[in-house]
Amino acid sequence: MLCRSPDDLDVAPKDLPPLPRPNRVVLTTPTHFDIEYVINPHMSDNVGAVTREVAWQQWKALRAAYTALDCAPALVDGRPGLPDMVFCANQTLPFYTPRTNTRGVVLSRMHRPERAGEVPHYARFFEDRGYAVKSLPEDLDADFEGMGDALWHPGRRLLWGGYGYRTSPEAYDALSDLLDVPILLLHLTDPDYYHLDTCLCPLDADHALVAPKAFDDAGRALIDTLFDTPIEVPDREARHQFACNAHCPDGTHVLIQEGCETTTKRLRAHDFVPVEIDTSEFMKAGGSVFCMKQMVW
C-alpha cells in the first residue's frame, strides 16, 4: 500500500475510512533547548547561539496560542543532554483506529544518534497515559522520525511519508502494515527541506501549503492530485522562514512563523486565519511551530 505516483493510487481519499482531527496537543518545555551540534543545514553557524530567555518567551507565546484556541497543552519536561527534545513532533507518530477505538503512538528510530535518547521519554509519557505504544519490527534496519516525516492526510486514514534525509523508505513498508494504512511516498531532494514538515503542511482535506522545490516531479504530481487546492509557498519564505512548518489545528486557524507575508496573504485569500508566532530562536535549530508540538487523539 505504498504509492509513489498518482498512477499507483487505486482509491480516492474520500473512499478511505474517515479519521477525526486529533484534539490534544503536547508541548515540551525548552528547559534544556540549545544548539550543541549541527545535524541539519539550518544549524550551521548557530552552535551556542540560543538566547534562553527569548526562547522561553517564544515558547510561552506558542503555549498561549494553543490555549486560546481551546487546546490547552499537556507538557513534557525537557531533559538535560537532549537539546532538541523541544521538537516533540519527531519522536512518535500518533494514530487513532476508530474501528477498534485504539489511541496510540509508533515510536521513532531517530536517524541521528544525538537525538535517540529522546524517544524513551515519550514512550513513557504515552504509556503512562494509556496509549498503545508500538515499535517498528526489531529486525528492520530503517530510520523513522515520526511526524517530522509522516503526516496524516486531514480527515482520512491516509499517510504522507517523506524520505531521503531522516527517514528511510523501508520504514513505510513496515508502518503501512503496522497501521493498515496506504502511504503516499514523497522523496525529499533538497537538504534545507530535510523533514517533510518543512515543505508540506496539510491544512484540511483540500488545502495544503507546499514548497515545490523540495520535491521531485512524481512528488509534486502526487500532491497536486491529492489536494484540490495546493497553496504554493515562495521558496524564500519556506526555506528561511519555515512557512510550511505551520500548523492548522482546527481547519481554520494556521499557527505560522511571524513575517511570512506572501504565505499569510495566500492563506487569507483561502479563508484561513493566520496566527503569527515568533519562533526565531527555534528556527536556528531548524524547526518552527509544527515540530514544536505533537497532536494526539
Which residue, among 255, 263, 262, 264, has the nearest Cα to 282 in the 3D structure? 255
**Alpha carbons 5 and 62: distance in angstroms, whole number:** 36
Known catalytic residue at 195: yes
CB of 33 to ligand ARG, least distance (A): 10
Cβ contacts of residue 77 below 8 Å, gap of 6+?
28, 29, 31
159 residue type, one letter: L
CB of 250 to ligand ARG, least distance (A): 21
Q: Closer to ligand ARG at the Cβ: 16 or 38? A: 38
Catalytic residue among 32, 111, 195, 253: 195
* Cell numbers representing residue 168 in the block: 528511510
DSSP run (H or E) holding 105: strand 102-107
**Alpha carbons 53 and 55: distance in angstroms, whole number:** 5
CB of 2 to ligand ARG, least distance (A): 22
Known catalytic residue at 260: no
Q: Do the beta carbons of residue 114 and residue 39 sit within 8 Å?
A: yes
The dihedral sign for the CA sequence 266, 147, 152, 9: positive
Residue ranges in contact with ligand ARG by CB under 6 A: 39-40, 43, 84, 87, 89-90, 115, 148, 195, 197-198, 285-287, 291
Q: Closer to ligand ARG at the Cβ: 5 or 31? A: 31
**Alpha carbons 105 and 146: distance in angstroms, whole number:** 9
Q: Closer to ligand ARG at the Cβ: 115 or 239? A: 115
Which residue, among 53, 117, 50, 114, has the nearest Cα to 79 in the 3D structure? 117
Catalytic residue among 199, 201, 244, 291: 291
Q: Closer to ligand ARG at the Cβ: 112 or 129? A: 112
Q: Closer to ligand ARG at the Cβ: 39 or 214? A: 39
61 residue type, one letter: A
Q: Which residues pair with 150 in a beta bridge?
A: 161
CB of 191 to ligand ARG, least distance (A): 11
CB of 16 to ligand ARG, least distance (A): 25
Positions marked active-site: 195, 291
